[in-house]
Amino acid sequence: MDHYDYIIVGAGAAGCVLANRLSDDPSISVLLVEAGPADRGWRIHMPAALAYPMQNPRLNWGYCTQPQPHLDNRRINWPRGRVLGGSSSINGMVYVRGHPLDFERWEQEGAHGWNWASVLPYFKRSESFAAGADPYRGADGPLQVKRADVDNPLHHAWIEAGRQAGYAVTSDINGYRQEGVGRLDMTIYRGRRWSAARAYLHPALKRRNLTVLTGALALRILFEGRRARGLQISHHGQLRDVRADREILLAGGAINSPQLLQLSGIGDPKRLETIGIQTVIDNRQVGENLQDHLCIYVQHECLTNDSLAAALKPLTKLGIGARWLATQTGPGASNHFETGGFIRTAAGVSHPDLQYHFMPLAIGYEDKKSRIEPSYQVDADALRPESRGSVHIRDADPRSAPIIDANYLSTEGDRRLLREAVRLTREIFGQAAFARFRGREIAPGPNVSSSAEIDAYVRATAESAYHPSCTCRMGSDDESVVDPECRVRGAEGLRVVDASIMPSILSGNLNGPTMMMAERAADLILGRPTLSAEPMPYFVAPDWQTVQR
């Protein structure tokens, strides 16, 4: 059996960070196993082509939920990356840290040491911000982050319309003030997607103490008593056991990490016994507490030629692609999520519970038939859902997709939030800044106005924002899956480091925070002192208890 000090399962946002930071010490041997292939091919690296890797079954696990009772019994697609870089190689490349109050909440939920002041230095260590360092931003890290250039007049109209509607314009959604409308940050560098693989893994591949296996599916963790000693994998169809002399680190994400724990005998004994798996550790919270952001679209016809619709014509697409291949410039070098914002939907909400991504084209991630007519849209994401779902294995076969029940919109609070999202978004689009652009409303459409009609629209059209999390909850209580140092309770030599250990979902996209978590976890794993806390101030509306904006 091959021996390594550390075995990392999953080369996604967290796994790539861990592989880099742990192998930085030449005396430490590291094995990184990834079920998918290497991150090759121009469609992965061209930002504007993001829909292609997301829909490619070779690069995507292709999960979907159980029929959702509150979404007209629809099964909701959940693409997850199955490639070096994981979901950071197929995502929309929007960089958001979350609101500081999210991390203060984590501390209260038992994730001691993960408060705002403690995580900020790790965000900074991870990042190389194109505009340079400041008290909130880093400039020397592996992850290249840039602020959107924003040269389309529709983006400017969005920001001005938000201001006209009474929302602040924020200069940095990842700095002092998240709340408001403004330009978004993106993980794009010199016109190319800057995934976790590009940022962390590729620079480390030349190290002799790092071994990376692609096409390697983790089947189960091998235990001696309660100590994780090894991993059984299928590498290009051949069974193989590998041994971890120090620790096994699961970084498969909110679906694959609880799946592997359950396949290995860590979970609810009643569930495991019914499918013939012997329980090693009784932890009934494995796979529970699932949380995700649900999103809806508000779309308009555009009366000018400023929309991106013309770029969808075959000859134009060919020209854009050729230019990008030659120079990594032009429309192909942007994800086109260049502006957005964060707002509160009601008085009494302390920090934004609705996120916007504006795009100068009416098109969803999953659209099979793109609209060629000039159009624009915003997608609105519900940030802190009350609903909780679950991920459970359906049988003892590691190749079987787990049973995913997101349990979307199971509370009236969640339904109210998306109802308000439609109304508040229509108010922004109704401002004078959009007057010369604004044509008919494509969706929800002029016939959708009452609460019942809006609710029906949401049930029929809402999609995942692709941010599953919290299924291996971190906490200080005995029922949590991992402790604040990411160690699996009841086990030795086993940790989980990915979005699954979030105690509760953050207010924003999860790619950047997952890399931050792996940065801090690397210090915990190696027994190093954590970086000194930086208690920087942050904005909370002084009158949040009584006004919505």
The residues with which 60 forms a beta bridge, in sequence order, are 81
Within this chain, domains 1-60+79-145+189-287+471-529 and 149-183+294-382+410-461 share the same CATH topology: no
How large is the average pLDDT for residues 500-522? 98
Nearest Cα residue to 19 out of 31, 5, 27 = 31
- pLDDT of 459 over the 60 cut: yes
Q: Kindly report, residue by residue over 186-229, the tens digit of the pLDDT.
A: 999 999 999 999 999 999 999 999 999 999 999 999 999 999 99
Average pLDDT over the chain, rounded to an integer: 97
Provide the sign of the torsion angle of the four alpha carbons 188, 44, 237, 393, taken in this order. positive
Beta strand spans in 320-427 (E): 339-343, 354-359, 375-382, 390-392, 403-405
The residues with which 8 forms a beta bridge, in sequence order, are 32, 249
Question: What percent of the chain has pLDDT above 70?
Answer: 98
Q: Kindly report, residue by residue over 223-279, the tens digit of the pLDDT.
A: 999 999 999 999 998 999 999 999 999 999 999 999 999 999 999 999 999 999 999
Neighbours of 221 (CB within 10 A): 26
Q: Kindly report, residue by residue over 54-98, the tens digit of the pLDDT.
A: 999 999 999 999 999 999 999 999 999 999 999 999 999 999 999
Cis omega before residue 121 (within 30°)?
A: no
> What CATH architecture applies to the domain 149-183+294-382+410-461?
2-Layer Sandwich (3.30)
Instruction: Please report, for residues 228, 240, 246, 277, 389, the alpha-carbon distance to residue 225 in angstroms, rounded to integers and kept in the order given.
Output: 8, 21, 15, 15, 31
Catalytic residues: 467
- pLDDT of 370 over the 90 cut: no
Torsion of CA 196, 202, 205, 211, to 10 degrees: 30
The residues with which 250 forms a beta bridge, in sequence order, are 9, 496
> What CATH architecture applies to the domain 1-60+79-145+189-287+471-529?
3-Layer(bba) Sandwich (3.50)
Q: From CA 128, how far away is CA 134, in angstroms rounded?
A: 11
What is the per-residue pLDDT for 198?
A: 98
* Residue 8 main-chain phi, psi, to 5 deg: -110, 130
How large is the average pLDDT for residues 461-486? 98
| Tokens read off for 199 | 């940022």
Instruction: Label residue 372 by pLDDT band (50, 70, 90).
Output: low
- pLDDT of 544 over the 70 cut: yes
Instruction: Label residue 367 by pLDDT band (50, 70, 90).
Output: low
* Domains in the chain: boundaries: 1-60+79-145+189-287+471-529, 149-183+294-382+410-461
What is the per-residue pLDDT for 312?
A: 87
What is the per-residue pLDDT for 1?
A: 72
- pLDDT of 371 over the 80 cut: no
Query: Which element (helix H / strand E) includes 522?
Result: helix 511-526
DSSP three-state, residue 441: strand
- Residue 451 in contact with residue 444, Cβ under 8 Å? no
Side chain identity, residue 252: G
What is the per-residue pLDDT for 63?
A: 98
Side chain identity, residue 545: Q
What is the per-residue pLDDT for 152?
A: 96
What is the per-residue pLDDT for 353?
A: 98
What's the chain's Rg over C-alpha atoms?
23
pTM over 0.95: yes
- pLDDT of 368 over the 80 cut: no
Query: Which element (helix H / strand E) includes 326?
Result: helix 314-327
DSSP three-state, residue 538: coil
What is the per-residue pLDDT for 420?
A: 98
How large is the average pLDDT for residues 15-21? 98
Spell out the residues 6+ positions from residue 270 whose beta carbon is closer than 8 angstroms to its own.
Answer: none
How large is the average pLDDT for residues 426-450? 97
Spell out the residues 6+ positions from residue 398 whose beta carbon is closer than 8 angstroms to its own.
Answer: 217, 218, 219, 220, 234, 259, 260, 263
DSSP three-state, residue 510: coil
Query: Which element (helix H / strand E) includes 142?
Result: none
Least confident among 254-268, 320-334, 358-372, 525-539? 358-372
Torsion of CA 142, 147, 152, 158, to 10 degrees: 130
